[in-house]
């Protein structure tokens, strides 16, 4: 099915008019739309593919690994080549997509302060290495769209007052009323900067090395559409829109989640899906749950949103032995309509965000969680509240160490608790994303924190490939045990139609010590009951309480044990998960 260039042009014009309704443009909207379409190589004399609405371009086989380009290194090799070798050796039958964290030249924040969007950091490799990875894996590229490095050529031109970038950055006056601005950091919002035209105060949402763009200038939009086109050419199949909630600023507002921001995402969706309908947009919006859900739009904005509330709620569940908060949240989550899905993760290069837990965990529960994580060696990053007070923004700790015990302290169940967390995530509605350091069972890197002075470095360890391989090949190491057990769960998941990201999900009511949900395949042939013991004591479940149909044969997909008495009890060891299915699909 195709659409005419004129129809697409009209749609883009309407979206631009909505975005720039309150902005005086020096270029007519029609000309801007034409330039955007030309940049994406959508030509008037060619048929343009019409994306199929509400189409799911994913299934149960999609598993995303999140990694830096140099998370695994080997002497004498480019890190991107080593990463490809690691994936081929240890993830061949499990991972099919890779989120490549920013691999561009940068000045700070481990890549999220981009100096040059158009080149690969030469310390990692080159575009040939990226294209080699893209032949075997669906690659997710970061589009760091809210800000760039203060050392970029664009910002240098801003300071000089001439050249590309001289008018790309958002400025304000210290006398402006900025009291309502939502801040994820405690650093000053405005950076005093000397320019050829005098002192200006540049908006910096995150740090003074990360200077915010001014999307009121359509040249900024055009620059990023050109970047998107280049990334598509280099093999990008998914785009992660980093910190996109802060994109549009209006003095006197919160400057987060504004209408124009949503409309900009819808415009990018229009351009990208007409260039390649199979490419997926994921919005990274580390904000309260209700606000995060709005980025689905009406299946015309993000294809997927980060399930940011899952990490703090799941860690809280497993360290307290009580799933009440997690269960209440799951019941409140609307099913993602076709054409959209959740991106589930429980660990990432950042920490465990606490803003997405606001309204879901009370202050006392959050305080207990923070204190427990600090006892396990974790760090805390802070933000300024609306009243100027410091509040915990995120906990910085590896997931493996976060689950080393309970609120009572460390215990012997660390690996089982860690695997339980992944079994819960892998069974849930949505596409699962696994951080490389969770796949490897990596512990806190205190040396890197000391070297960088950054709390987030605690979960950004850099492995030597040969040392890592020796550990992964040793059956006695925590790393071998973790990779083996998670890989087994992934292989089972990938073979079950009931684990399709959009398959039906229903929360089970099994009390506070057993967390459970039911999945049913889109064709309704397969049911899987996912039940996890979230405590360090044995629990029993009455199988009749989950309504297993007596005429079907049931088995646990994980242990391969058949359930002979569907009306009897099933004993679950501490942190054991069962996936009870009426059908077995071979992995």
The domain that holds 164 is classified in CATH as 3.90.400.10
> pTM, whole model, 2 decimals?
0.96
Quote the CA–CA distance of 203 and 25 in Å, as a whole number.
22
How confident is residue 216, by pLDDT bands cut at 50, 70 and 90?
A: very high
The per-residue pLDDT of the chain, averaged, comes to 95
How confident is residue 388, by pLDDT bands cut at 50, 70 and 90?
A: low
Find the mean pLDDT for residues 88-111: 97
For residue 372, is it within any domain? no
How confident is residue 586, by pLDDT bands cut at 50, 70 and 90?
A: low
For residue 299, is it within any domain? no
Q: Which residues belong to the annotated binding site for substrate?
A: 109, 147, 240-242, 349-350, 456
Domain extent for 184: 147-212
- pLDDT for residue 312: 96
Quote the CA–CA distance of 338 and 332 in Å, as a whole number.
18
pLDDT of residue 367 exceeding 60, the answer is yes
For residue 83, is it within any domain? no
Active site annotation includes 47: no
For residue 307, is it within any domain? no
Question: Of the residues 163, 195, 212, which one is the last residue of a structural domain?
Answer: 212
- pLDDT for residue 583: 78
How confident is residue 387, by pLDDT bands cut at 50, 70 and 90?
A: low
Phi-psi region of 388 (alpha: psi -120 to 50; beta: other; left: phi over 0): left
Quote the CA–CA distance of 260 and 255 in Å, as a whole number.
10
pLDDT of residue 258 exceeding 90, the answer is yes
Find the mean pLDDT for residues 278-282: 98
- pLDDT for residue 439: 98
pLDDT of residue 584 exceeding 80, the answer is no
Find the mean pLDDT for residues 45-55: 88
pLDDT of residue 385 exceeding 90, the answer is no
Quote the CA–CA distance of 567 and 543 in Å, as a whole number.
5
- Least confident interval from 318-332, 387-401, 483-497, 563-577: 387-401
Nearest to 432 by CA among 581, 290, 295, 304: 304
How confident is residue 287, by pLDDT bands cut at 50, 70 and 90?
A: confident
Question: Of the residues 168, 187, 212, which one is the last residue of a structural domain?
Answer: 212
User: Cα–Cα distances in Å, from 377 out to 407, 408, 444, 482?
Assistant: 13, 15, 8, 20
- pLDDT for residue 566: 84
Q: Residue 172: helix, strand or coil by DSSP?
A: strand
- pLDDT for residue 498: 97
pLDDT of residue 587 exceeding 60, the answer is no
CATH code, domain carrying 517: 2.60.40.1180
User: Scanning the structure block, which residue is given the tokens 């569940």?
Assistant: 317
Quote the CA–CA distance of 469 and 87 in Å, as a whole number.
12
pLDDT of residue 44 exceeding 80, the answer is yes
Quote the CA–CA distance of 316 and 372 in Å, as a whole number.
10
- pLDDT for residue 190: 98
For residue 82, is it within any domain? no
The total number of structural domains that make up the chain: 2
- pLDDT for residue 2: 76
Question: Of the residues 162, 196, 212, which one is the last residue of a structural domain?
Answer: 212
- What number of H helices and E strands is found in the chain? 17, 30
For residue 317, is it within any domain? no
For residue 526, is it within any domain? yes
- Least confident interval from 139-143, 464-468, 560-564: 560-564
Quote the CA–CA distance of 551 and 567 in Å, as a whole number.
12
Find the mean pLDDT for residues 234-243: 98
- Least confident interval from 258-272, 315-329, 520-534, 553-567: 553-567
- Structure confidence by residue, pLDDT tens digits, 239-248: 999 999 999 9
What tokens does 84 get?
């490809």
For residue 244, is it within any domain? no
pLDDT of residue 142 exceeding 90, the answer is yes
- pLDDT for residue 585: 59
Q: Please count the other Cβ atoms lying within 10 Å of the Cβ belonging to residue 50.
A: 15
What phi, psi does 486 have (nearest 5°)? -70, -40
Checking DSSP bridges between strand 64-67 and strand 431-435, what pairing results, if any? parallel
Find the mean pLDDT for residues 119-127: 98
- pLDDT for residue 273: 97
pLDDT of residue 550 exceeding 90, the answer is no
- Structure confidence by residue, pLDDT tens digits, 397-416: 999 999 999 999 999 999 99
User: Which one of 242, 401, 445, 556 is the catalytic residue?
Assistant: 242
Find the mean pLDDT for residues 450-473: 96
Q: Which residues belong to the annotated binding site?
A: 109, 147, 240-242, 349-350, 456
- Please list, residue by residue across 208-240, b when 16 or more beta carbons sit within 10 angstroms of its beta carbon and e when fewer do: bbbbbbbbbbbbbbebbbebbbebbeebbbbbb
- Structure confidence by residue, pLDDT tens digits, 4-13: 999 999 999 9
pLDDT > 90 fraction of the chain, expressed in percent and rounded: 89
């Amino acid at each position: 099915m195709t659409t005419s260039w004129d129809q697409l042009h009209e749609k883009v014009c309407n979206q631009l008019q909505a975005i720039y309704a309150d902005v005086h443009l020096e270029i007519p909207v029609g000309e801007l739309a034409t330039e955007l379409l030309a940049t994406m190589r959508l030509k008037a004399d060619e048929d343009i593919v019409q994306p199929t609405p509400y189409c799911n371009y994913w299934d149960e086989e999609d598993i995303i690994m999140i990694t830096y380009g140099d998370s695994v290194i080997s002497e004498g090799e480019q890190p991107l080549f080593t990463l490809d070798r690691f994936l081929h050796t240890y993830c061949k039958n499990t991972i099919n997509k890779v989120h490549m964290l920013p691999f561009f030249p940068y000045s700070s924040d481990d890549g999220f302060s981009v100096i040059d969007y158009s080149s690969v950091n030469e310390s990692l490799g080159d575009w040939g290495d990226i294209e080699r990875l893209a032949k075997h894996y669906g690659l997710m590229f970061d589009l760091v769209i809210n800000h760039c490095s203060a050392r970029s050529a664009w910002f240098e031109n801003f300071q000089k007052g001439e050249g590309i970038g001289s008018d790309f950055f958002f400025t304000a006056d210290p006398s402006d009323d900025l009291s309502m601005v939502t801040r994820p950091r405690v650093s000053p919002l405005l950076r005093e900067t000397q320019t050829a035209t005098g002192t200006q105060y540049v908006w910096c949402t995150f740090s003074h090395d990360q200077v915010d763009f001014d999307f009121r200038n359509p040249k900024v939009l055009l620059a990023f559409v050109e970047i998107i086109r280049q990334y598509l050419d280099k093999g990008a199949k998914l785009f992660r829109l980093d910190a996109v909630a802060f994109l549009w600023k209006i003095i006197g507002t919160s400057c987060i989640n504004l209408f124009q921001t949503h409309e900009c995402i819808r415009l990018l969706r229009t351009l990208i899906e007409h260039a390649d309908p199979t490419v997926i947009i994921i919005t990274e919006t580390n904000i309260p749950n209700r606000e995060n859900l709005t980025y689905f739009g009406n299946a015309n904005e993000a294809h997927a949103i980060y399930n940011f509330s899952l990490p703090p709620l799941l860690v809280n569940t497993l360290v307290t032995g009580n799933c009440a908060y997690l269960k209440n949240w799951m019941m409140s989550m609307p099913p993602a309509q076709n054409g959209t899905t959740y991106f589930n993760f429980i660990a990432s290069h950042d920490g465990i965000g606490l803003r997405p837990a606001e309204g879901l965990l009370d202050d006392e529960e959050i305080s207990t969680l923070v204190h427990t994580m600090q006892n396990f060696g974790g760090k805390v990053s802070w933000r300024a509240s609306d009243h100027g007070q410091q509040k915990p923004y995120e906990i910085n700790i590896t997931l493996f160490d976060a689950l080393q015990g309970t609120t009572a302290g460390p215990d012997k169940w660390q690996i089982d608790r860690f695997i339980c967390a992944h079994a819960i995530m892998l069974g849930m509605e949505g596409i699962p994303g696994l951080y490389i350091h969770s796949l490897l069972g990596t512990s806190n890197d205190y040396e890197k924190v000391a070297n960088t002075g950054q709390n987030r470095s605690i979960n950004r360890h850099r492995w030597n490939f040969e040392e890592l391989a020796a550990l992964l090949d040793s059956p006695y190491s925590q790393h071998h045990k973790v990779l083996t057990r998670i890989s087994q769960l992934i292989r089972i998941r990938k073979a079950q139609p009931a684990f399709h990201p959009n398959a039906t999900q229903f929360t089970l009511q099994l009390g506070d010590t057993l967390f459970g949900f039911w999945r049913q395949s889109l064709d309704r042939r397969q049911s899987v009951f996912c039940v996890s013991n979230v405590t360090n004591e044995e629990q029993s479940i009455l199988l009749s309480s989950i309504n297993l149909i007596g005429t079907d044969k049931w088995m646990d997909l994980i242990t391969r044990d058949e359930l002979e008495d569907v009306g009897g009890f099933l004993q679950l060891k501490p942190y054991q998960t069962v996936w009870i299915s009426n059908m077995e699909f071979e992995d």
